[in-house]
């Protein structure tokens, strides 16, 4: 079973319109690198100077990776990774 990566609405135009992309990867970094290899234009929307952009959060099974091992957080089959930017509208 692959790892499901959920793409936010604002970034889908860079992922062929897909809401979810199934990927493999031993940790968050590998997973997002694999996402970038498939959909190169999404990389700049998630990363800036090699870091996750400061208004974008990465959640692994509804946990914020910043209190886990950040980009080194290990992933396994069946995990769900959500990329969620801050929501500004009101």
Partner 1 sequence: MSEFKIEKVDMSKDPSLERYSRQMRFGGVMEKGQRKLLDSRVTLCGCGALGTVIANSLVRAGVGFVRVVDRDFIESHNLQRQVLFDEADIAANLPKAEAAARKLRVINSGVTVEAIVTDINRTNIVELAKDVDIILDGTDNFEIRYLINDVCVKFDKPWVYGGSIGSHGQTMTIIPGQTPCLRCVFEAAPAPGEAGTCETAGVLAPIVSIIASFQVAECIKILTGQPETINRELIYVDVWENITRRIKIAPLLGKVDCPCCKHKKFEWLEGEQGSQTTSLCGRNAVQVAHRVAAKLNFDELASHLKLMGGDVSYNRFLLKFTVEEYEFTVFPDGRAIIKGTSDLDKARVLYAKYIGH
Which residues form the interface with partner 1 (CB under 8 A)? 9-10, 19, 53-55, 57, 59, 62-64, 66-67, 82, 84-90
- Shortest Cβ distance from residue 33 to partner 1 (Å)? 22
For partner 1, the closer of residues 32 and 60 by Cβ is: 60
Give CA–CA dist 35/47, Å, rounded.
Answer: 12
State the virtual CA torsion across 47, 48, 50, 51 in degrees, nearest 10.
-70
For partner 1, the closer of residues 19 and 37 by Cβ is: 19
Beta strands 51-52 and 56-60: pairing type? unpaired
Residue 82: CB atoms within 10 A of its CB come to 16
- Shortest Cβ distance from residue 8 to partner 1 (Å)? 8
For partner 1, the closer of residues 1 and 67 by Cβ is: 67
State the virtual CA torsion across 8, 9, 12, 17 in degrees, nearest 10.
130
- Shortest Cβ distance from residue 14 to partner 1 (Å)? 13
């Amino acid at each position: 079973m692959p790892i499901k990566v959920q793409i936010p609405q604002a970034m889908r135009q860079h992922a062929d319109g897909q809401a979810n992309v199934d990927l493999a990867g031993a940790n968050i970094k590998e997973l997002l690198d694999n996402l970038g290899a498939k959909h190169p234009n999404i990389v700049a929307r998630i990363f800036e100077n090699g870091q996750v952009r400061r208004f974008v959060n990465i959640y692994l099974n509804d946990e914020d990776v910043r209190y886990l091992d950040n980009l080194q957080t290990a992933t396994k089959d069946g995990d769900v990774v959500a990329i969620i930017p801050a929501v500004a509208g009101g």
